[in-house]
Amino acid sequence: MPVKYDLIVIGGGHNGLVTAAYLARKGLKVLVLERRDVLGGACVTEEVWPGYKVSTAAYVNSLLRPEIIRDLELKRHGFEMLPRSPSSFTPFPDGRSLLLGPDKAMTHREVSKFSAKDADALPKYEAMLERVADFLEPTLTMTPPNPWSLRPANLLQLGRLGLGFLRLGHDGQKAVEILAGAATPILDRWFESEQLKVTLATDAIIGAMASPSMPGTAYVLFHHVMGECDGVRGVWGYVRGGMGGISNAIASAAREQGAEVRTGAEVVKILVKHGAAQGVVLRDGSEIHSTRVASSADANVTFLKLMSNGDLPADFVEAVRHIDYSSASCKINIALSELPDFTAVPGTAPGPQHRGTIHISPTMEYIERAYDDAKYGRPSQHPIIEATIPSVLDDTLAPPGKYVMSMFTQYFPYRLAPGLSLEAEKEKYADRCFDLMNEYAPNFKRSVVARQVLAPADIEQRFGLTGGNIMQGVMSLSSLSFMRPVPGYADYRTPVRNLYLCGAATHPGGGVMGACGYNAAREIARDAKR
Ligand SMILES: Cc1cc2nc3c(=O)[nH]c(=O)nc-3n(C[C@H](O)[C@H](O)[C@H](O)COP(=O)(O)OP(=O)(O)OC[C@H]3O[C@@H](n4cnc5c(N)ncnc54)[C@H](O)[C@@H]3O)c2cc1C
């Protein structure tokens, strides 16, 4: 008799693994099927060149929920954070530079170089974000209420949210602006120095096909301050062994609880009979049966690629077709023979300038112009770079004396203007990124040993992320909370009985948070108990 599982999880990204681990802990017989030969999805470490281990997609962590780290005992399974201090370094064309946090005295000194007023305002701005985070953060691990349902539990949850909002007092207006507004006006109101604003503004556009002056970017900015590193709020860190260290630790916890995890196992079809999921079909044609199926692939892949049209209501299919997957993020992974020797802070020995995120985008107008190109389908002439060199803090990633660098860059649009070829544009764009870095660190280009350029189309193909959208769908207000992935289906269930979503396509969205997988596990456990 073939084995029948209680639950098949499609996709061994970190969220799918979280769902698997929690439900295996509850005693369910769980099978995870991952298409690639490596686990982790976009939270992965890959040895791209012999001896060089690269976080090929996600590169820093802060968002992973502390309750998951605790419940699954991830530290015992090898998960280790490497906090960064300073957390960022921004060199400017005039030879000056700005280092930021978490050391508050250092940050005050650094910001004072540009504006004493801003140095005093920054802690107040952070405190305001924290107050709003206190309201929003608990919602991350809640199933969003359904405002179209009058069930008492829903009304109660909506009431509690309303009360939490009222408790914000005048910060309530700020919370609304953060949820719906643009980053630039907020930064303009708080700060006067271009240098501080532009350093903070890059968080507002990460993964977004938008410039900071566009509505929706304030939330992206905020999304990036909602986590913590070893208990310190808003601090981002590296993970020992690269981001795959997170996924591998979760996989190890899941296996320990009895979950079976297979790689190189691509699902090509979700089996549906009489309106209920029954299992899956793999690329090799084999069928595997289960009582329930949870997909951590995005909504487009799950519903439009792995299911037959007749399995789903037409209006649901239409809503999925309208999900916005636009993207202009291009990841460049690099092997380096030596560290960048910045004109602003000279030296190739590891220093504070190498530890955190290196921001290359001199002014707010520069970002706007970079986006203007992408708007018309052209990769930016003058791109924006967020570079990290995790091997400065982690000697497991590169051969002795060598380094790996992640360059998260924007804007390289998924949809290129007619006549532009992906392969040619990609290399020209990467060359421009390297020229730009070289302007600030003149030894950079000669230190490059190898590079891997992942444009949105490559991100789509490699990680299965539609449109190359790094969040499994944009993180704008109309696609958040009870509207994620589509209105009416934010409780991790789908129109097909016993079929669930458990990845970043669901609330609270993208980022290495694990919250989507955690919430989905809770809902699946509830149904299984019934
Ligand atoms: C370039 C890039 C940089 C990023 N940087 C950061 C960062 O620094 N910090 C951060 O917090 N977040 C970052 N993110 C976002 C974050 O990585 C993702 O939101 C998160 O990893 C999504 O996790 P997931 O488990 O929900 O989905 P995914 O990681 O997308 O996992 C889904 C899995 O399903 C598998 N799959 C798909 N289809 C099938 C199928 N048919 N059969 C079997 N398996 C299938 C895929 O191969 C994949 O492994 C970044 C993302 C990218 C792409």
| 3-state SS string for 267-322 | EEEEEEECCEEEEEEECCCCEEEEEEEEECCCHHHHHHHCCCHHHCCHHHHHHHHC
- Say yes or no: CB of residue 63 within 6 Å of ligand 1: yes
- Say yes or no: CB of residue 328 within 6 Å of ligand 1: no
Q: Whose CA is nearest to atom 35 of ligand 1?
A: 11
For each successive 10 residues of the chain (530 residues), what is the average pLDDT? 89 98 98 98 98 98 95 98 94 97 93 98 90 86 89 87 86 83 93 96 89 89 73 86 98 98 98 97 97 98 94 96 96 98 98 97 96 97 98 98 98 97 97 98 98 98 98 91 94 98 97 97 95
- Say yes or no: CB of residue 206 within 6 Å of ligand 1: no
What distance in angstroms lies between residue 111's CA and the mean position of ligand 1's atoms?
35
Three-state secondary-structure class, residue 438:
helix
**Index of the ligand 1 atom closest to the CA of residue 513:** 11
DSSP code at position 145: P
End-to-end, the C-alpha distance of the chain in Å comes to: 27
d(CA 395, CA 340) in angstroms, rounded, equals 17
* Phi, psi (rounded to 5 degrees) for 42: -85, 5
What distance in angstroms lies between residue 476's CA and the mean position of ligand 1's atoms?
18
What distance in angstroms lies between residue 179's CA and the mean position of ligand 1's atoms?
24
Which residue in 214, 204, 227 sits closest to 361, CA to CA? 204
Residue 1, pLDDT score: 63
Which single residue is written with the structure tokens 């049966």?
289
Cross-strand partners of 40: 13
Q: Which spans in 191-347 are helix H?
A: 194-205, 217-223, 244-256, 299, 314-321
- Say yes or no: CB of residue 468 within 6 Å of ligand 1: no
DSSP code at position 466: G
What distance in angstroms lies between residue 193's CA and the mean position of ligand 1's atoms?
36
What distance in angstroms lies between residue 196's CA and the mean position of ligand 1's atoms?
31
Q: Whose CA is nearest to atom 53 of ligand 1?
A: 470
Tokens of 141: 């691990």
What distance in angstroms lies between residue 86's CA and the mean position of ligand 1's atoms?
27
d(CA 326, CA 448) in angstroms, rounded, equals 30
Q: Sign (positive/negative) of CA torsion 173, 174, 180, 186?
A: positive
For residue 124, give the amino acid letter: K
Residue 331, pLDDT score: 98
Cross-strand partners of 501: 295
Half-sphere exposure of 413 (CA within 13 A, CB side): 21
pLDDT in tens, 4-18: 999 999 999 999 999
d(CA 457, CA 447) in angstroms, rounded, equals 27
d(CA 309, CA 331) in angstroms, rounded, equals 34
Contact 406, 333 (CB under 8 A): yes
- Say yes or no: CB of residue 297 within 6 Å of ligand 1: yes
d(CA 366, CA 436) in angstroms, rounded, equals 13
Buried b (16+ CB within 10 A) or exposed e, 352-375: ebbbbbbbbbbebebbeebbebbe
Residue 180, pLDDT score: 85
- Say yes or no: CB of residue 11 within 6 Å of ligand 1: yes
- Say yes or no: CB of residue 174 within 6 Å of ligand 1: no
pLDDT in tens, 438-469: 999 999 999 999 999 999 999 999 999 999 99
- Say yes or no: CB of residue 510 within 6 Å of ligand 1: yes
**Index of the ligand 1 atom closest to the CA of residue 40:** 49
**Index of the ligand 1 atom closest to the CA of residue 268:** 41
pLDDT in tens, 205-232: 988 899 999 998 888 777 767 777 777 7
**Prior bond to 352 cis, omega within 30?**
no
**Index of the ligand 1 atom closest to the CA of residue 266:** 42
| Number of Cβ within a 10 Å radius of residue 103 | 15
* Phi, psi (rounded to 5 degrees) for 386: -120, 110
Residue 219, pLDDT score: 81
Which residue in 300, 215, 304, 328 sits closest to 472, CA to CA? 300
Percent of the chain with pLDDT over 90: 82
d(CA 378, CA 358) in angstroms, rounded, equals 24
d(CA 398, CA 390) in angstroms, rounded, equals 10
- Say yes or no: CB of residue 36 within 6 Å of ligand 1: yes
**Index of the ligand 1 atom closest to the CA of residue 454:** 1
**Index of the ligand 1 atom closest to the CA of residue 11:** 34
Which residue in 285, 247, 254, 272 sits closest to 31, CA to CA? 254
- Say yes or no: CB of residue 9 within 6 Å of ligand 1: no
- Length of the chain equals 530
What distance in angstroms lies between residue 104's CA and the mean position of ligand 1's atoms?
33
CA 317 from chain centre, in angstroms, equals 25
- Say yes or no: CB of residue 467 within 6 Å of ligand 1: no
For residue 329, give the amino acid letter: S
